[in-house]
Structure 1
Amino acid sequence: MIPLTYAVVGLSVVLCVVAVWYAVRDRLIDDRLLAVAALLEVALVVLLVVGLVGLGHIRDSTERATFVAYLVSLPVIPVGTAFLAIKEKSRWAMGSLAVGAFAVAVMSARLLQIWMSYE
Structure 2
Amino acid sequence: MIEPVTWTVVGLSALLFVVAVVYAWRDRLIDDRLLLLLALIELGLVVQLVVGLFGLGQVDEDTEQATFAAYLVSLPLIPVGTGLLAIKEKTRWAMGSLAVGAFAVAVMTARCLQIWTLHA
TM-score range, shorter chain: over 0.9
Q: Over aligned residues, Cα RMSD in angstroms?
A: 0.6
2:105 counterpart of 1:93: no
Structure 2 CA distance, aligned partners of 1:61 and 1:2?
22
How many residues align? The count is 119
Measure, in 1, the Cα distance between the counterparts of 2:44 and 2:6: 9
Q: How does 1:103-114 map onto structure 2 within 5 Å?
A: 103-114=104-115
Deviation at 1:98, TM superposition (A): 0.3
TM-score (norm 2): 0.97
After TM superposition, the structure 1 = structure 2 runs for residues 1-119 of structure 1, keeping only pairs within 5 Å, are 1-119=2-120
Q: Could you state the TM-score of these two structures normalised by the residue count of structure 1?
A: 0.98
Identity of aligned residues (%): 71
Partner SS for 1:89: coil
CA–CA separation in structure 2 for the residues paired with 1:81 and 1:38: 12
Query: Could you list the runs of 4 or more consecutive aligned residues of structure 1 that deviate by over 2 angstroms after TM superposition?
Result: none
Unaligned runs of 5+ in 1: none
> Shift of residue 2 of structure 1?
1.2
